[in-house]
A and B are shown apart, each in its own frame.
Chain A
Amino acid sequence: MKVNIHLNKRVAVIGAGMTQFRRRILETPQEIAWEASSKALEEAGLELKDIECVVIGSAPDAFDGVNLKGEYLSHGSGGIRKPSSRVFVGGATGVMAAITGWYHVASGMCNTVLVVAEEKMSPARPHPQSVFRYIWDPILEKPLNPNLIWIFAMEMHRYMATYGIKKEEIALVSVKNKRNAANNPYAQLGGNITVDDVLNSEVLVWPVQLLDISPVSDGGAAMIMASEDVARRYSDTPIWVDGVGWTLDNTEWPARDLAYARYLEFAARMAYKMAGIENPYKELDVIEPYDPFDYKELHHIEGLRIAQRGEAPKLLKEGVFDIDGDIPSSPSGGLLGVGNPIAAAGLMKVISIYWQLKGTAGKMQVKKPVHTGLAQAWGDLMQASTVIIMRN
């Protein structure tokens, strides 16, 4: 196995843009994609004619109500009369799209890539959850009619039981992220809530309660990636991609150790090796781990080897992951606060790190100087993880 022995070309992020994340956006998916794309182009100082390749990220086709969604979204994503393709690893798609943009440039295929992630969950009837009724093994699992929240409740329960973690400790993630999101102009659910608010919210599937979980959202995000010579021509502050990693575990989630995301550890190791990171706790300045549920942020921080197994809640309580902490985590507000238009939410995490490293995160900017940041996403049947590491 080779993996990450050398990098052929340096790749930088030079622009990004987002739509607001909302429960129901009235624009079409193509229009959402274009709003994000045009903002990214504007920030990079480029025009569509300057873009050589387009990478599209979007999660289940059924959300937008279009088959062959990558084809449909190529209009609006600038993918007309250009090499345009869509990648897909479930919920981990947003970061995978950024990784794909990276290898488009690093391989020598293109000098400039527009990476676009879009999701419109609102058209699904009677509720976006219905799209998840068909993610299961059609023979072994579908007849049981599981609900997506059920399996995450199992994982949350297992995580809590294995390491003796209390609901109160996990609720602090929701409190932190919604507080951070109050500073994010794109956020859907920012605000000041308390641990008691989380603990008193409606029980969906025990131990998952309403405020443990990210909302249903529509939204788009886009990013411009470029080769070193182009990046230096258009930007005084290019942000470099120094490591990428992705891993898919097998499909059989019931046989997996739900207390620990081993597949994430593998993906992180791949990215750390490429970026030359040996001690992530000491070397990472700011992180955006995927947080569709509050326990997932902690789960992922452990999978990323930033905390030992079962130790993330302790560090959270000590304030390590606060916006003024040692390793600010989800300074954007994360999926819990900004919203969760699946693929767009993952790319939003990458963009958040890009803006942090560039120093243009506005009210979201973390207090300490930051030089190395990490974004991560997670998806499929609790089996996929994607990791990207950037430096300024």
Chain B
Amino acid sequence: MVVFLNRVAIIGVGWYGFKPTTPEVSFREMVFEAASRAYKDAGDINPRTDVDSFISCQEDFWDGISISDEFAPDQIGGAMRPTMTVSGDTIQGLAHGIMHINSGVADVVTIEGHSKISDILTFPDLVKFAMDPIYLRTLNPPNFHFLAGIDAVKFMERKGVTREDLALVVEKNKRAGLKSVRSSYASNLSVDEILKYNEYVVYPLTRLDIASFVDGAITIVIASEEVAKRVKGDDYLIIRGVGYATDSANAETADIGKATYMRLASNMAYRMGKIDSPRKYFDAVFVDDRYSYKELQHLEALGISEEPVKDLREGNLHPQGEIPVNPLGGHLAKGVPLEASGFSLLLDAIDYINSGKGDRALVGSWRGIPTFTGSVVVVERP
């Protein structure tokens, strides 16, 4: 594995939605809104002349279209241009965009991801359909969260995590979300109130430990630093490192109880960014918390905290703590926008840096059940 030759910058960001339902728009209209805002933010650029390649991050079954790539170009200005689909999280799409720039085929790249999950009538069945048809799907579990339950129990046993600790994560993130306009699921719940709700979806997770899904579209425009300086002056952020990895395709061969995918992805990003001490390096961390325990598990894998429970209990992970984790609420407050999940966390990181609270942020995304794939991006002021 080698390192990138040129620095790549984020020059434009646009989003739409972050609502449980968006009956006013189709997914294409939603993406158009997000893309238009991103191009405006990127210095009012015209995608048809100023953007060199376009990447859409989507999956057929989420969009209800058998070849969803057909519907990628129009709403982002990518018609009759080099447009393609990366079937993965938006951070994986971002990695492909960085490769477009560093391979020499593009100076400016648009990446979009979206979720119109309110249109999906059979979401649990589609998740089941993503499981191995021979070894896993045939178990016919009562719900797809069972994999998270197994993973959570193993992780909690290994690291001494209690139900109260999970409630602390839920309390922290749902309250932190009150500071962000994108948080449909933010609330001012206390640990006691969270623990009182003890109807398990799958042990040890109640409905409050599991992030809800949300509709939304996010478009991000990236460029070589040379172009970024030209169009944005010094008003841009640098991508210092990016990484992604799959632990295993199959639950029976994956590291249950550990987020090995996140460890591999972050190692790649740190190597690229020449980051030796992530805990010291970052001002804040934005990490997938679609299950409350996942925040802690991911922090361990990212090398941010060897003892995440201790850090949590001591308040080190709070928005005012030593290393704020999901200080704008994460998925527990905002919801999970399918393939746009990584960009949802990156949006929080960008907001955080732009608000002057820090200069360097770490983003770690996971593709959710039943995958063991994670992606990481390091973003900072130039």
A interface vs B, CB < 8 Å?
1-9, 28, 30, 52, 59-62, 65-76, 79-90, 96, 100, 102-104, 106-111, 131-135, 137-138, 227, 244-252, 262-263, 266-267, 270, 274, 379-381, 383-384
The yes or no answer to B172 lying at the interface (CB within 8 A) is no
**A-B interface pairs (CB < 8 A), number:** 233
Question: Assuming A67-B129, A133-B66, is B52 touching A248 (CB within 8 A)?
Answer: no
A18 to B243 alpha-carbon distance, docked (Å): 30
The yes or no answer to B69 lying at the interface (CB within 8 A) is yes
The yes or no answer to B167 lying at the interface (CB within 8 A) is no
Inter-chain contacts of B61 with A (CB < 8 A): 61-62, 67-68
| Contact across chains for B66 and A102 when beta carbons are under 8 A apart | no
| Contact across chains for A106 and B103 when beta carbons are under 8 A apart | yes
Question: What 3 pairs between A and B have smallest CB-CB spacing?
Answer: A75-B249, A107-B102, A106-B103
| Contact across chains for B104 and A66 when beta carbons are under 8 A apart | no
Contacting residues of chain B (1-41) with chain A, CB-CB under 8 angstroms: 1-5
Question: Assuming A109-B99, A251-B73, is B246 touching A79 (CB within 8 A)?
Answer: yes
Inter-chain contacts of A82 with B (CB < 8 A): 245-246, 264
Inter-chain contacts of A248 with B (CB < 8 A): 54, 69, 72-73, 78-84
Of the stretches B86-94, B276-284, B311-319, B324-332, the one at the interface is B86-94
Inter-chain contacts of B367 with A (CB < 8 A): 68, 71
| Contact across chains for B126 and A80 when beta carbons are under 8 A apart | no
The yes or no answer to B64 lying at the interface (CB within 8 A) is yes
A270 to B268 alpha-carbon distance, docked (Å): 31
Inter-chain contacts of A108 with B (CB < 8 A): 2-5, 102
Question: Assuming A3-B82, A72-B132, is B69 touching A88 (CB within 8 A)?
Answer: yes
A71 to B127 alpha-carbon distance, docked (Å): 12
| Contact across chains for B264 and A81 when beta carbons are under 8 A apart | yes
Residue of A67, A70, A380 near B69 (CB, 8 A) is A380
A169 to B249 alpha-carbon distance, docked (Å): 48
Q: Closest residue to A383 on the B side, CB-wise?
A: B70
Contacting residues of chain B (74-116) with chain A, CB-CB under 8 angstroms: 74, 78-88, 92, 95-96, 98-108
| Contact across chains for A62 and B66 when beta carbons are under 8 A apart | yes
| Contact across chains for B67 and A90 when beta carbons are under 8 A apart | yes
Question: Assuming A60-B60, A71-B367, is B85 touching A30 (CB within 8 A)?
Answer: no
| Contact across chains for B66 and A100 when beta carbons are under 8 A apart | no
A62 to B244 alpha-carbon distance, docked (Å): 25
Question: Assuming A8-B104, A132-B66, A248-B73, is B249 touching A89 (CB within 8 A)?
Answer: no
| Contact across chains for A89 and B85 when beta carbons are under 8 A apart | yes
Expressed in whole angstroms, the minimum distance between the Cβ of A248 and any Cβ of chain B is 4
Q: What would 14 A/B residue contacts be, using CB atoms closer than 8 Å?
A: A1-B52, A2-B105, A2-B106, A60-B60, A62-B60, A74-B246, A75-B253, A88-B68, A108-B4, A109-B2, A248-B69, A251-B70, A263-B80, A266-B81
Inter-chain contacts of A60 with B (CB < 8 A): 60, 66-67
Question: Assuming A60-B66, A135-B65, is B82 touching A107 (CB within 8 A)?
Answer: no
Inter-chain contacts of B101 with A (CB < 8 A): 107
The yes or no answer to B260 lying at the interface (CB within 8 A) is yes
Inter-chain contacts of B105 with A (CB < 8 A): 2-4, 103, 244, 274
A379 to B67 alpha-carbon distance, docked (Å): 9
Question: Assuming A62-B66, A67-B61, A89-B69, is B103 touching A8 (CB within 8 A)?
Answer: yes
The yes or no answer to B215 lying at the interface (CB within 8 A) is no
A153 to B370 alpha-carbon distance, docked (Å): 41
Residue of B80, B106, B243 near A266 (CB, 8 A) is B80
| Contact across chains for A1 and B49 when beta carbons are under 8 A apart | yes
| Contact across chains for A69 and B87 when beta carbons are under 8 A apart | yes
Residue of B66, B74, B247, B370 near A134 (CB, 8 A) is B66
| Contact across chains for B59 and A380 when beta carbons are under 8 A apart | no
| Contact across chains for B249 and A74 when beta carbons are under 8 A apart | yes
Q: Closest residue to B128 on the A side, CB-wise?
A: A67
19 additional A-B residue pairs with CB within 8 Å, beyond A72-B132, A81-B247: A3-B105, A5-B104, A8-B5, A62-B66, A65-B129, A72-B130, A74-B249, A79-B249, A81-B248, A84-B373, A86-B87, A88-B85, A107-B100, A108-B4, A109-B99, A138-B64, A227-B2, A248-B73, A381-B67
Max chain A C-beta neighbours (<10 A), residue from B50, B108, B244: B244
Q: Closest residue to A73 on the B side, CB-wise?
A: B249
Question: Assuming A86-B88, A135-B65, A247-B82, is B103 touching A71 (CB within 8 A)?
Answer: no
The yes or no answer to B371 lying at the interface (CB within 8 A) is yes
A131 to B1 alpha-carbon distance, docked (Å): 38
Question: Assuming A68-B59, A71-B373, A82-B246, is B64 touching A109 (CB within 8 A)?
Answer: no
Question: Assuming A8-B102, A75-B250, A81-B264, is B88 touching A70 (CB within 8 A)?
Answer: yes
Inter-chain contacts of A383 with B (CB < 8 A): 70, 73
Inter-chain contacts of B121 with A (CB < 8 A): none
Inter-chain contacts of A247 with B (CB < 8 A): 80-83
Q: Closest residue to B58 on the A side, CB-wise?
A: A88
The yes or no answer to B133 lying at the interface (CB within 8 A) is yes
The yes or no answer to B200 lying at the interface (CB within 8 A) is no
| Contact across chains for B87 and A66 when beta carbons are under 8 A apart | no
Q: Closest residue to A53 on the B side, CB-wise?
A: B1
The yes or no answer to B71 lying at the interface (CB within 8 A) is yes
The yes or no answer to B134 lying at the interface (CB within 8 A) is yes
Inter-chain contacts of B82 with A (CB < 8 A): 3, 245-248, 267, 270
